[in-house]
Amino acid sequence: MAANISHEMRTHAPGEDVLTARELYRFYRAGEEETLALRGVSLRVGRGETVAVVGPSGSGKSTLLACLAGLDEPSGGEVRVNGVRISHRPETERARLRARYVGVLLQTRNLLPHLSLRDNIRLAQRAKGRGPATSPRELLSQVGLAERAHALPRQLSGGELARAGLAVALANSPAVLLADEPTGELDSDIERMVLAMLRERAADGCAVVIVTHSDQAVRVADRVIALMDGTATDASAAHGGRLEGQEVRDATG
Ligand SMILES: Nc1ncnc2c1ncn2[C@@H]1O[C@H](COP(=O)(O)OP(=O)(O)OP(=O)(O)O)[C@@H](O)[C@H]1O
């Protein structure tokens, strides 16, 4: 319901939180097996801020990202993007809010296989529906793929796919960018390029969340949140680099 959504919209001052998650729980049942993947995770990410989410396999990182993106519904708690509640809505409304406010980079999964790179970008821009958009040509050139506009995803190398996924994630000029292992299998030059682009977006005011195992990615973050068995703690103090001397905000909000 568009009326409800616009009614809830707010304008945010620089630095204000644009992504908030409050007391997120995610419970899975598969046959006899029950898993509590998120156990009361709260998180705030401000405009222009980059947060890295780290943690061992199975700690809940992808589940958290999916809930933040509105791709999955938390069993309890609430997610707001740009002041608008994205959780606990029908899937079509979540998809519409995501198209408007959120860029999601899930390795190759944000590319439709039967569309060229240019058309993947156009589709993301059409889904957003309004507002200024960077041209597909410009986006592809930013990620070094200007020559591959007409290629299908299956015709790309792993590094090219990662960059194409980033171009699509940025196509709607998102207020919030959520990236799951954006540099997972990239060589270090391309990893640096992808991280530099994420930082640029943050400098433009985007709130960026990166799920990562990469030390390089952790180093570009303003804050680090560690997940363990579905529980989040602020691990910024345990990491050096950019984090030193910066204000450490409570991961639990
Ligand atoms: N669809 C599902 N059904 C049942 N259990 C699930 C489902 N998805 C995730 N889980 C469980 O939830 C927990 C958290 O999984 P999640 O994928 O979020 O972890 P992760 O930290 O992203 O792991 P990895 O680093 O290996 O990707 C795990 O115990 C996992 O087995």
- Number of folded domains that form the chain: 1
Is 163 within a domain?
no
Tokens for 83, please give them: 């002041």
Protein residue with least CA distance to atom 2, ligand 1: 28
- Any atom of ligand 1 within 6 Å of the Cβ of 55: yes
Is 87 within a domain?
yes
- Any atom of ligand 1 within 6 Å of the Cβ of 63: yes
* Residue (of 2, 184, 182) closest to 99 by Cα position: 2
Q: Which residues pair with 79 in a beta bridge?
A: 21
Is 1 within a domain?
no
CATH number of the domain within which 38 lies = 3.40.50.300
Is 134 within a domain?
no
Is 118 within a domain?
no
139 alpha carbon – ligand 1 mean position (Å):
32
Residue range(s) defining the domain that contains residue 93 = 14-109+170-242
**CA quadruple 146, 149, 154, 156: dihedral, nearest 10:** -10
- Rounded to two decimals, what is the model's pTM? 0.85
3 alpha carbon – ligand 1 mean position (Å):
35
Output the tens digit of pLDDT for each of the chain's 253 residues.
Answer: 333 434 344 444 546 889 999 999 999 998 888 999 999 999 999 999 999 999 999 999 999 999 999 999 999 999 999 999 999 999 999 999 999 999 998 865 688 999 999 999 999 888 877 656 788 999 999 888 999 999 999 999 888 888 899 999 999 889 999 999 887 777 788 888 888 889 988 998 999 999 998 888 898 899 999 999 999 998 887 776 444 334 334 444 4
Is 23 within a domain?
yes
What is the pLDDT, as a whole number, of residue 240?
60
* Residue (of 128, 121, 135) closest to 163 by Cα position: 121
Is 178 within a domain?
yes
105: left (phi over 0), alpha (psi -120 to 50) or beta: beta
Q: Which of 63, 75, 209 to mutate to test the pocket of ligand 1 (most atoms within 8 A of CB)?
A: 63
Is 34 within a domain?
yes
Residues 6+ apart with CB under 8 A from 70: 79, 81, 86, 87, 89, 94, 95, 97, 98, 102
ipTM reported for the complex, 2 dp: 0.97
CA dist., res. 72 & res. 11, Å (int): 26
